[in-house]
Structure 1
């Protein structure tokens, strides 16, 4: 059974019914985990599949095409994370003009009832959906009375008196407060992917890097960081990473470049994960490569010193 589905319109996916939770799930923070956990628990109690329903691209990305808002998590990681939390199926519905124009009542009938046969629907506080964000919990509950399902929302998840949210995590990352971001996420912030070939300029300069693309998305942070690389060896590997557009060499696409200290090996095609520990400096454009290399050397030394005093917070991927 394919556990991922992308189409809003189609035949039934859960003939025996399902329990669904709906949200952006960008970052899979503590609030998202509470929502998914509730849906999974209810699905197990009813003996039906648990379905996490989201969108790709996210609606806010679709409506802001000129300046896409930052993403915490790429689609593959979001899918893996939702499955890891116990979801039996994950819908990353293609958010296009047709879906954006679909009335909320039609979304309920076609997707929730027609495709998923929902018996329960769970959402977060303030959830809105459908054309012009016209749908809300009250509409879900009214439709449920007609179609034979129930709908409810979970209570807000608070940390230090404030609601846990993706917006709050993005602000923490921009501020370099990785400790707060980790508390909000329930784990350290990290980005994973398959190592790709870059321009190999770092290798010629004596600082080879493992490069990860960000899938055309806008990252939530940019700059130079002390990091741990997971999936390279049996233990996390200390590293210094640059995440940005590489202005000195006229880069365009956001690229995560991790220089693994004293590492000798071929990582091309390997899936690794880079855990962010500390912000060293912002990305900048240097007048020449010699000046850039001198700064890279200082970044290297500073990152080594930071990582010597801080153990990695997660097991190796």
Structure 2
């Protein structure tokens, strides 16, 4: 049975021992997959549970509260992705003032040893942890020799001569380079969630949308996109999507709105995934709703062309 835990302190979760990998895991790109894969394979060989240890919010979000850095992936998607990669247990530790001020040595003793009974700890290149980021691989190896675990670092995963990183993926997404982002991720970039009720403005304008919230996080991309929607049929459904704050109607919260071409049905509460294919344009504020509708019609046509979807024939008057 898969297990999620949020607290850094508490009873021992794996008294028999565990193999632990640690990271932000934002995006679960090729580098993350290599790290998790190594820990899972070592856990299977040792007959121990594989534990992925991460944080929510991410430390960089906690320390930049007024201008939160963009996120590639929401916590639920990260959790499900780590399970899919073979982790038996996932820790999304609450990163708060207490955890931020915890010395690296205490993190090793209280979390890795007491909480997880770690036998092996795996980290990515240049990994740091603890108050002031004073903890590193050298400290893990030193304390591991004293406390009964080994510590290891995987080699950097390279693509096109550069290290795979979440920063490279964010840069690619900002530039609308979904091909590069997909290669770095090992899969197309997509955002999933449960369809929620909106103001239904799109329906009144002739463009009903399936709306997904982004959980108070800052998205890594904004604008209008040609997209595929997964989870509404046996095949991906062609669509055009807007991701942003809807400046024409004075929106505030980032919202992902997917208009599924020629779709009829109720999607409220359904969990879907929106796959991004191409960037059409940036968000902009229009002087009035007719101007917005005219642009939405052009976006519709452009997205259909990119996805090679024919518009339905309209009956003549």
Q: Tell me the TM-score range normalised by the shorter chain.
A: over 0.9
Give the 5 Å matches for 1:66-105. Answer: 66-105=66-105
Deviations 1:144-188 (A, max 9, x none): 000010001000000000000000000000000000000000000
TM-score (norm 2): 0.97
Alignment of 1:152-301 (within 5 A): 152-301=152-301
CA distance in 2, matches of 1:232, 1:243: 19
| In 1, Cα distance between equivalents of 2:31 and 2:59 | 19
Q: How many residues align?
A: 309
Using the size of structure 1 for normalisation, the TM-score is 0.97
Matched residue of 2:251: which SS?
coil
Identify the residue that residue 26 of structure 2 maps to in structure 1: 26
Deviation at 1:115? 0.5
Distance 2:143 2:225 in 1: 49
Does the aligned pair in 1 maintain the 2:137–2:153 contact within 8 Å?
yes
Partner of 2:137: 137
Aligned-CA RMSD value: 0.7
Q: Does the CA contact (< 8 Å) of 2:245 and 2:254 recur in 1? A: yes
Deviation at 1:2, TM superposition (A): 5.9
Q: Supply the distance in 2 between the matched residues of 1:38 and 1:150 (Cα, whole angstroms).
A: 14
CA displacement 1:200-248 (0-9 Å, x = unmatched): 0000000000000000000000000000000010100000000000000
Instruction: Please list every run of at least 4 consecutive aligned residues from structure 1 whose deviation after the TM superposition is greater than 4 angstroms.
Output: none
Q: Is the 8 A contact 2:2 2:83 kept in 1?
A: no
Partners of 1:6 and 1:236 lie apart in 2 by 34
SS at match of 2:264: coil
Distance (Å, rounded) in 2 between the aligned partners of 1:286 and 1:206: 17
Distance across 2 between alignment mates of 1:93 and 1:216? 18
Instruction: Render the CA deviation track for 1:29-74: whole Å, top value 9, x for unaligned.
Output: 0000000000000000100000000000000000000000000000
Displacement of 1:251 in angstroms is 0.4
d(CA) in 1 for partners of 2:31, 2:95 = 23
For the 8 Å contact 2:51–2:87, the answer to whether it is kept is yes
